[in-house]
Amino acid sequence: MPRRRPRHRVAGGAGPAVPVAVRRVAVRRVAVRRVAVAPPEPAPAARPDERHHVTDTHAPSGTARRLLVWSVVVVVAAIVLGVLWSGSDYHTTSLRTAATDPGAPADTEPADSVSVRWSEGSGPTAVDPVGDGSVIIGDRHGLRGLDPQTGDERWHYLRSTALLCDWTAQDAVVVAVFRTDDNCDEALALDAGTGERVWYRNVNLAAEMSLASTNQLTVASTDTGVTTFGTTSNGLRWRYHPPSDCRIADSLPGDTGVAVTLDCAGVTSLVLLDGFTGKQRWSGVLPPGPARILTADGVVAVLGLDSTGALSVFGRDGATLVTLTESALVASTDVEPAAQLYGDRLAVFTGSTLVAVDTAGGGIAWVARAVTQPTLLGSGALVHDGSEFVELDLATGQVLRQIGVTGPVPATGARLDRVGSAIVVGTADTVAVYD
């Protein structure tokens, strides 16, 4: 800050002013040269990315912007997952399992008089609808396991977007094949007691295939080939294709192997395939015409479906045990024949009669009226004779016991099974429990 110039001082209050000597200072003149001042330079032009930069207090910060991006990603992902879930098998499958395995109830004798305790529509129905103490019901879209005493549901496996091609039950395992497209393309096994899944696999089977099983082997068969799986595991065992000029007329697995009848330009023959390797073990000659394999357990029995009543029975090694042509063996045209081996007695159901064939002697032991397939009851065979259930002595065919029926009687050709004291009757579209 510039200093102020000194002033004259006044001494002694009001007295006259005393002059103070002041030295004169010579002042030099300084020549000042005019300097041209250039106008101020204009401010440099803003770069393109700075020309319109305006601070907006409402614009999101970097963190907020990242949160916004993540929110959009999460919403899009949720939509995509929702679409995939809605079309997935998990979304369209209803699975209910039993909390505990009920197990098979104690085998007790049926009452002297029985009636229908409950019945349920079923389709398709397997040859053996009873497994591990549950009655298995086929549904258009799946399977259900019911309590044999009450008919209450224990478990179910249902697929709303798939159709049940066929199923089979054996030794507490239910094997089923589903169709989601033109062919049957998904197979799985369920525990018959609880409904829990045992295995699952993708397959490629024709829509017209049929299933049958043993405790170790499940067979899917068409007229062009046989495909086998493990019953308790999803492993593919083997495939069989007939000779080029032949088609498969029938097939059935059993403890002897997999029996297959072939139609080769009108000539009918029988081959037995090894259940574990699929290799042909032996072949046999059959009478001409269509035929049905009745059983492959213990023996292989084949019945002609024409009016001759021709029955051929082969041993495990392929040796011919029985060759019969009897009118008593003529099968009904509207009923599927079947047979079971009890000791050396082959009980053949024709649709109207039960014929006991002596496999050791090669002849017919006895004939009894029967409108249902047989099942074992004690030491005898249980059938329905059109008016009541009867237990037949396997050696003589004599009636050992009669069980009266109150109300509806079983349909002709029905399959019989037993669980506890109940008699399970299965047809192509219904299962009924008599108790």
The predicted model scores a pTM of 0.78
Higher-confidence position of 373 and 22 = 373
Residue 52 lies in a domain: no
Residue 7 lies in a domain: no
Residue 202 lies in a domain: yes
**Three-class DSSP category at 235:** coil
Dist. CA 403–CA 434, nearest whole Å:
11
Check whether 169 has a pLDDT greater than 70. yes
**Three-class DSSP category at 76:** helix
Looking at the 3D structure of the chain, how many domains does it have? 1
Output the domain CATH number for residue 320: 2.130.10.10
For 257, the enclosing helix (H) or strand (E) is: strand 257-264
Query: What pLDDT band is residue 66 in, cutting at 50, 70 and 90?
Result: confident
Per-residue pLDDT, averaged over 155-163, amounts to 94
pLDDT of res. 36: 47
pLDDT of res. 130: 87
**Domain that includes residue 195, residue range:** 86-434
- Contact between residue 173 and residue 190 where contact means Cβ atoms under 8 Å apart: yes
Residue 177 lies in a domain: yes
What does pLDDT average to over the chain?
84
pLDDT of res. 170: 87
Question: CA dist 339 to 103, 246, 355, Å?
Answer: 27, 26, 9
Residue 111 lies in a domain: yes
**Which range, of 99-103, 281-285, 338-342, 417-421, averages the lowest pLDDT?**
99-103
Residue 51 lies in a domain: no
Tens digits of residue pLDDT in 103-132: 778 889 999 999 999 999 887 766 678 888
Share of the chain above pLDDT 90, in %: 67
Task: Classify residue 43 by its DSSP letter.
Answer: P
Half-sphere exposure of 251 (CA within 13 A, CB side): 31
Tens digits of residue pLDDT in 337-351: 999 999 999 999 999
Residue 429 lies in a domain: yes
Residue 20 lies in a domain: no
Bridge pairing between strands 375-377 and 415-419: unpaired
Query: What pLDDT band is residue 79 in, cutting at 50, 70 and 90?
Result: low
pLDDT of res. 107: 86
Check whether 35 has a pLDDT greater than 50. no
Query: What are the residues facing 156 on neighbouring strands?
Result: 96, 144
